[in-house]
């Protein structure tokens, strides 16, 4: 749910503050990706994330998605 709210808030007008946000590595990764596109996201990886809406996002760099922790755990359990 945290990622969906971040995706909606990044283009919304004004500032959005998420409290009790997920602290998973995927949250940090999506925030890094969006910040590289021009978003203004602060606090990813903590329980409070602040997002200032921006009018547009642009691809500026390449981004490597982090490995899937659940998939890695599944292979390790086999």
User: What digits encode the pLDDT tens for the residues 26-71?
Assistant: 999 999 999 999 999 999 999 999 999 999 999 988 889 898 888 8
H helices of the chain, where? 2-9, 25-36, 69-77
**Domain range list for the chain:** 2-77
Residue recorded with tokens 């602040």: 50
Q: Is the pLDDT of residue 74 over 90?
A: no
**20: nearest Cα among 33, 5, 31, 7:** 5
Q: Which residues make beta-bridge pairs with 25? A: none
CATH topology of domain 2-77: UDP-n-acetylglucosamine1-carboxyvinyl-transferase; Chain (3.65.10)
């Amino acid at each position: 749910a945290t990622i969906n709210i971040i995706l909606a808030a990044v283009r919304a007008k004004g500032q959005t503050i998420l409290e009790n946000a997920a602290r998973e590595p995927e949250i940090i990764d999506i925030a890094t990706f969006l910040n590289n596109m021009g978003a203004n996201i602060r606090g990813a990886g903590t329980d409070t994330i602040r997002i200032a809406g921006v009018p547009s996002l642009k691809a500026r760099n390449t981004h490597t998605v982090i490995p899937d922790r659940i998939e890695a755990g599944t292979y390790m359990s086999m």
